[in-house]
Amino acid sequence: MSKPAIELKNITKTFGSIVANKNVSLTVNFGEILSVLGENGSGKTTLMNMISGIYYPDSGHIYINGEEVVIRSPKDAFDYKIGMIHQHFKLVDVFSAAENIVLGIDGKSRYNIKDSIKEIKKITDKYGFEIDLNKKIYEMSVSEKQTVEIVKVLYKGADILILDEPTAVLTPQETQKLFAVLRRMKESGKSIIIITHKLHEVLSLSDKVAVLRKGEYIGTVETKNTNEAELTEMMVGQKVELNIDRTEPKNCENRLEVLNISCINREGVKVLDNISFTARSGEILGIAGIAGSGQRELLESIAGLQKLNDGNILYHDPKTGKIDNLRDKTPVQIRDLGVRLSFVPEDRLGMGLVGNMDIVDNMMLRSYKKGKSLFVDRKQPKTLAKKIIEDLGVVTPGTSTPVRRLSGGNVQKILVGREIAASPTVLMAAYPVRGLDINSSYLIYNLLNTQKENGVAVIFVGEDLDVLLELCDRIMVISSGTISGIVDARTATKEELGLLMTKHGGEKQ
């Protein structure tokens, strides 16, 4: 049996009143790949950040090679040969790949970039990485950046590698390449911890699986002795049928017609490529896809936040039957056309709400311009705030609490509550249950269903396929900016969706 490389015992970390990790213990041996599995918000990343010295645990012990250690900073982590590849890459944009790789290495005070490149080449050849070391980071694709990150920690001599959701941004081909590299590393005796919430990856790659649920450690199992059903159960607790009420769509009319839209982002990447679909009233249209496949750009272009390079977005007014083209209109122009479009963006505190403002002021965000008065009216928003707090069960000391102080679920209730209060005809919600507990999630599902029954055209961007299948009426799958299929949610299967999500991937970057 191989030796344990790293052991965690009873690690606890809190942020204010939020418990991110509670009594977590786990062990990884040399020459072993451990998957840390858990849903979004289960505390995986926080735990790994404590091993890599970004956070400091409130209590608990860490052992490396059997000895207790204290990891106060990333530098300590490196001294113990721990290297972490963060989900959000920690690279300096204006530096070249080689400069990023040698950054922070002790040793000679002078360095010669050519010599460094030679040394780095040895590593890239050994594990089979393909990379141009002189390329600047800001010119690189996501997968190239990830390669730089991995080479960086290897160059620093890491024996324990932590990868935080490495496949979230990769195409299937790129994922396969990455896994091949990881297996080669494992064979050479390195310990690898990979954070993920994709079960098939866990099963195909790892030796052991540790499961976290809402910050609590559930247990570790050998991959060969387990299966998807067991892992899912560990991950979500007792096997839950979602049992989301779904009614048959009624009085469906075309509400929003998206015709052949394309969009090229600032980096010159075609993030939306010839997308066409129709959202109908009284129906929930789900959008599935790997994170970063163009979901955000799609919603933002409908909301008037994203300039399009091609195509049209037609809105059918339910009362007058008038058709307006929303392409390249600003949010204000869209509102002035009488289009009641509500949008719950993915970035709640960075876009949907203002964290430092209180609940009342956040209620006004959409409506403050109403009326001719020079001054803002806080009476109505205050009534609205009270109503939302009561109806949705928001836990808050009062209406004058800055929303940044509320927990994630309550923040989301405020945001969704405000968007629904505008009595929209189109409601778009991006990952509205991300990071929410079960009860809050169901509350959101119910709210979306109520909207649907009221004849609103709901567009729901989700990541949990089970939810998509049980909540939506139709599901559109996008992959690398193109539509790979639109299916009936009542008959489609998870496998079908999974296949569509990766259909076009890899053909382009």
Only one of the segments 52-60, 278-286, 443-451, 499-507 lies at the binding site for other proteins (rule: CB under 8 A); that segment is 52-60
Residue 497 contacts residue 469 (beta carbons within 8 Å): yes
Q: Kindly provide the b/e burial profile for residues 35-63, where b requires at least 16 CB atoms within 10 angstroms of the residue's own CB.
A: bbbbbebbbbbbbbbbbbbbbebeebebe
Closest CB to other proteins among residues 93, 228: 93
Only one of the segments 188-196, 250-258, 328-336, 455-463 lies at the binding site for other proteins (rule: CB under 8 A); that segment is 328-336
Assign residue 66 a region (left: φ > 0; alpha: ψ between -120 and 50; beta: otherwise): left
Closest CB to other proteins among residues 140, 489: 140
| Residue in 31, 249, 292, 331 binding other proteins, rule: CB under 8 A | 331
Closest CB to other proteins among residues 107, 268: 107
Surface-to-core class of residue 259, CB atoms within 10 Å of its CB (0-12 exposed, 13-18 middle, 19+ buried) = middle
CB atoms within 10 A of CB 378: 15
Closest CB to other proteins among residues 271, 341: 341
- Minimum Å distance from CB 236 to other proteins? 25
Closest CB to other proteins among residues 415, 487: 415
Q: Per CB under 8 A, which of residues 138..157 are in contact with other proteins?
A: 138, 152, 156
Give the Cα separation of 500 and 198 in Å (integer).
16
Residue 329 contacts residue 341 (beta carbons within 8 Å): no
Q: Per CB under 8 A, which of residues 409..428 are in contact with other proteins?
A: none
| Residue in 119, 132, 267, 347 binding other proteins, rule: CB under 8 A | 347
For tokens 């009641």, what's the residue? 340
> Whole-angstrom distance between the N-terminal and C-terminal Cα of the chain?
42
Q: Per CB under 8 A, which of residues 62..121 are in contact with other proteins?
A: 67-70, 72-75, 77-80, 84, 86, 90-95, 99, 102-112
Residue 381 contacts residue 363 (beta carbons within 8 Å): yes
Strand order in the sheet with 323-325: 270-280, 254-264, 310-316, 323-325
- Minimum Å distance from CB 310 to other proteins? 22
| Residue in 24, 148, 163, 353 binding other proteins, rule: CB under 8 A | 353
* Closest by CA position to 440, among listed 398, 470, 412: 412
Give the Cα separation of 490 and 505 in Å (integer).
25
* Count of residues interacting with other proteins (CB under 8 A): 73
268 binds other proteins (CB under 8 A): no
Closest CB to other proteins among residues 114, 239: 114
Q: Per CB under 8 A, which of residues 285..304 are in contact with other proteins?
A: 303-304
- Minimum Å distance from CB 6 to other proteins? 15
Residue 162 pairs in a beta bridge with 84, 193
Assign residue 313 a region (left: φ > 0; alpha: ψ between -120 and 50; beta: otherwise): beta
CB atoms within 10 A of CB 283: 23
Closest CB to other proteins among residues 242, 305: 305
Only one of the segments 36-44, 160-168, 344-352, 428-436 lies at the binding site for other proteins (rule: CB under 8 A); that segment is 344-352
- Minimum Å distance from CB 39 to other proteins? 19
Give the Cα separation of 23 and 33 in Å (integer).
22
Q: Per CB under 8 A, which of residues 15..34 are in contact with other proteins?
A: 15-16
| Residue in 121, 270, 405, 434 binding other proteins, rule: CB under 8 A | 405
- Minimum Å distance from CB 343 to other proteins? 7
343 binds other proteins (CB under 8 A): yes
Q: Per CB under 8 A, which of residues 375..404 are in contact with other proteins?
A: 375-376
Helix axes 142-155, 113-127, angle to 10 degrees: 100
Closest CB to other proteins among residues 14, 226: 14
Closest CB to other proteins among residues 136, 270: 136
Strands 191-196 and 33-37: parallel
59 binds other proteins (CB under 8 A): yes
| Residue in 126, 183, 369, 494 binding other proteins, rule: CB under 8 A | 369
Closest CB to other proteins among residues 152, 504: 152
